[in-house]
Every structure is written in structure tokens, then in C-alpha cells.
Amino acid sequence: MIDWNAHLAALQVIVPMFTVPLVVLLRPSGLAWAAAMTASIGAFAVSIALTLGVLDGQVYGYSLGSWPAPYGIELRVDAFSAIVLLMVTGTSSLALLAARATLDAEIESHRQPLFYSAWLLVLTGLTGILVSADAFNFFVFMEIAALASYVLVAGGKDRRALPAAFTYLVMGTIGATFYLVGVGLIYMMTGTLNLADMESRIHVVADQTPIMVAAGFITVGLALKAAVFPLHAWLPNTYTYAPHAVTVFLAACSTKVVLYLLLRFDFFVFQANIVSHDIQFSWFFLPLAVLALLIGSGIALFEKNLKRMLAYSSVAQVGYILIGAGLVNVAGLTASVLTMFNHALAKGALFLAVACLAMRCTGLTHSDIKGAARDMPWTMAAFVVAGLSLIGMPGTAGFVSKWYLLSAVLEQGLLGISLAIIIVLSSLMSVIYIWRVVEAAYFHAPIPGTATRGEAPPLLLAATWTAVLANVYFGLNSALPVALSSAAAKTLLGHVP
């Protein structure tokens, strides 16, 4: 009898990975979708099981092939991994539901099985990063996820997706290669790739210069992949021109998982071992985060295309996450992890609502969706609730993370007050850009010729409302994400008083 609980960490990756070759072979496309959906829900179930275990105080360690760490490859799932796993597998399942409804308009039926297999590869890569405890495994899984997501982005009908995917590929590869250089330098000095082993060996190294250089390479490389301002150039076009379901998946997950890796490296590995690392981290990321908030939200104000507007809003959201992390204390990191989770909920729901609009409208600019609320009341209601969550209205998930972020920031005296002002300013800007969509959809008459509408397909609407209800649920009952985030923050800052 196999003890499934002991193998959960490995199953998390194996379930989607081993479904990929099956999905490639399945015809017709409906069957391929069903297999992909099953694998995604299976992965979701595994991450729920992992989360329940983590909440009981269990840490899942797993030695692949029974080779003990640090010689063998280790998998490790703690609270930080669990909350991001939950988010990734959950979003993947919802976005796959949406893909079933939207994909026929975007990709020919005979290519759809390939699309779904690439999707599962992205899921494999992202979950792989989250369960690994080995610096080189991170790189491999990161590239699996990245290569498959370039395919997903370029897969649609819109030809503008091609240059977007090319830029994404070039910048993603540069980011990953920088990371690889950093890992190489650390390996040279410490002789290990296992994260925990690395953490304990770095401070023994006599010459700290290569470690500093490695920290720089890893931080900048991952910041490029996480679209930290001003390294976000690949993001807006990628999100705008990718197939709608892909945008939902990538916007909610891909940058977050890289941020997970960034925080894990900078806090778990470097924080206790590099002299005045916290000051360097704060002074590098806080100014960038502030600029991301102001410029990301500022551009979103003037953007007419809905998907591009939300993409710039994502640039700003990375700023919120980094402000929390830049405080380098438990309260700040809790807020940071919580923002990751809640932003994925809000942005996922918003992009799902946009996918609904895209099914029935001729375009996605403000003038294309004029009067849409008359024909699509459910879609627009979903957009409004998810928008409120993005803004941070009480009763939605977004409020909880903004609350934690503001209270963490306000502990910091004068610097904290100015940061709080910037956070509030950016939130006000998000009120304006969400309102502009609401105004167009509710208070304008439809332009003749664009108004061939009805409500979005039931399947897509169901996915959208599930996401919206999750926003409301976690807004009213935030015990689960808060417990996981504060446990995550404590693990990350285990060495700091």
C-alpha cells in the first residue's frame, strides 16, 4: 500500500507532467480538454491536500529516488509554497474552463490538443518551481514553464501576438540566463545547489565578493522575469495579444511564481548571510516599487484597450508586492504574500470578465463595450465586483491585503507615511480606470454596429463567477490566506528577530 501523503510533493508535478503526452495524442479536441482539465483539477486537489497538511504544521520534504539531501534532489513544501500552489493550480483550472469556451474562436480545432499540452507544461513548470528546494531545479522548471508559455502566447490568431511572444522569449531567456550565472557563482563558492545547504554554507565562504555578484545576478534576472518596473517591457503586449484564457492564467500566475522565487532567494538564502542585505534589498526595490505604482497605474488611466489597461495595472501590483517585501519584516512580508494571493484572485476574475466581453463585442476598447451592461448584465456585474476587489473595497479580498499592507507600512514612521500616501494614490487611480470601464458599459448607449450581443457562454460565465465569489469569500473570511501568509513570512525571515 502506497502512503500517498508522503508522495504528495512529487505528485504535484507528476500529475500534470505525465498527462502531457496523453493530451498530445487525444482527438477530438474536447477529449484533450477533458484530460487537461482532469489533470489540472487533480493538481488542485493535491495542493489542497498539501495546504491542509501545512496548516497542521507539517513540512513536506521529499528526497527524489531516496537520495538524501544535499546529495540528492530535494522537494520541499512549506506554507509559502502551499499558498502559491493553491493559487496556481486553482487559476489554471478556472482558466481551462474558460479556454473551453473561448478557444474555438482563437485556435483551430486540430491544434487545440497541442495547445492544451503546452498549457499543462506551463502548469508542470510553475508547480515544479514551487515544490523544488534545489537552485538548478528552479532554473529547469522555470524554463519549462517559460518555453511553454511563449507557445501559448504565440498560439492565437492575432498576429501581433508573434512579436510580443518574441520579445517575451528574448527577455525571459536573458532573465533566466542571469539567474543561471548567479547560481553558478554560488555553486563555485559553496559547492552545493540545495537551498537549505547553500544557506548554511554561504557565511563560511571567505571571499564574499562572488556571493554579492551572484545575489545581484539572481535578483536582477528574476526581476526581469517578474516584470518589476522598469523591466516590464515584455508584459503589456504579451498580456494584450495572447489568447484570452492564456492571459487569465499568465496574469494571475507567471509573474507571481517568479516573485516567489525572488523572495525565497533574497530572504531565505541571502538575508542572514550577506552584510546589510536588508538595506540593499530595500534601497533597490522600494524606489522601483514606488515608480511601478505611480507609472503603472498612471498609464492604465489613459489606456483604452481593456486588456492592456489591466496589464499595466499588473505592473503596479508587482509594486505593491515589493513594497511589502521591501520593509524586510514579518508584517511586511505577510502583506506581500497576501497581496500575491489576492491580486491573483482579483486579476484572474477581471481577465475572465474581459474574456466574456471579448466573446460578444467586436473589440475591447472603451467604445467597443459601450452599453454592454444591457446585454451582458452578469458579465459586467462580475467585472464590477472583481474591480472593487482590485481597488480594495471592504468585503472583497483586495481589501484584506491592502489593509495588511497599509498597517505594515505605517509602522515605519515618516518613510512609512509617504509610502502609504503613494499606495492610496495608486488605489485612487485604480478607482478611476475601473470606473471608466463601468461608465462605458453602464451609462452609454451602444454604438450601432457593435451591438450584436447576448450574455457570454454559460461555461465561461460560471468560471468568471466562481473567481468573483472566491474574491468575496476570501474578503469576508480571510483566515486561510492570512494564516498561510504569516507562516510563510516567518519561514522566510526565520533568522531575523
Partner 1 sequence: MGLLGLFHYWVFAVLLMTGFYAVIAKRNLVKKLIGLSIFQSAVFLLYITMGKVEGGTAPIYQNGASDQLFSNPLPEVLILTAIVVGISTMALGLAIVVRIKEEYGSIEEDEIMNFDR
Residues that bind partner 1 (CB under 8 A): 136, 139-140, 143, 147, 150-151, 154, 159-160, 162-163, 165-166, 169-170, 173-174, 176-177, 180-181, 184, 187-188
How large is the angle between the packed helices 330-360 and 397-410, nearest 10 degrees? 150
The whole-angstrom separation of Cα 112 and Cα 23 is 10
Helix residue spans in 242-305 (DSSP H): 244-263, 277-291, 297-302
Nearer to partner 1, 55 or 233 (CB): 233
CB of 118 to partner 1, least distance (A): 11
Q: Which of 311, 326, 478 is nearest to 405 (CA)?
A: 326
The distance in angstroms from the start CA to the end CA of the chain is: 44
Nearer to partner 1, 169 or 344 (CB): 169
At closest approach, how far in Å is the CB of 110 from partner 1? 17
Q: Which is nearer to partner 1, 131 or 142 (CB)?
A: 142
Cell of 447: 454604438
Cβ closest to partner 1, residue 157 vs residue 203? 157
**Min CB(26)–partner 1 separation in Å:** 23
Q: How far is the CB of 68 from partner 1 (least distance, A)?
A: 17
209 or 418: CB nearest partner 1: 209
CB of 247 to partner 1, least distance (A): 18
Q: What is the DSSP string of 352-389?
A: HHHHHHHHHSS-SBTTTTTTHHHH-HHHHHHHHHHHHH
Nearest of 440, 439, 338, 355 to residue 389 by alpha carbon: 338
Closer CB to partner 1, residue 210 or residue 457?
A: 210
Residue 63 CA to residue 53 CA, distance in Å, equals 18
> How many CB atoms neighbour CB 151 within 10 A?
18
Phi, psi for residue 60 in degrees, rounded to 5: -85, 105
Nearer to partner 1, 181 or 462 (CB): 181
Residue 229 contacts by C-beta under 8 Å, 6 or more apart in sequence?
288, 289, 291, 292, 295, 296, 315, 318, 319
Q: How far is the CB of 193 from partner 1 (least distance, A)?
A: 8
Cα diameter, the chain: 73
C-beta of 136: minimal distance to partner 1 in Å? 6
Closest C-alpha to 179, from 140, 128, 219:
219
Alpha-carbon distance of 295 to 297, in angstroms, equals 6
Closest to partner 1 by CB, 147 vs 406, is: 147
Distance CA 54, CA 485 (A): 12
Q: By C-beta, is 162 or 417 nearer to partner 1?
A: 162
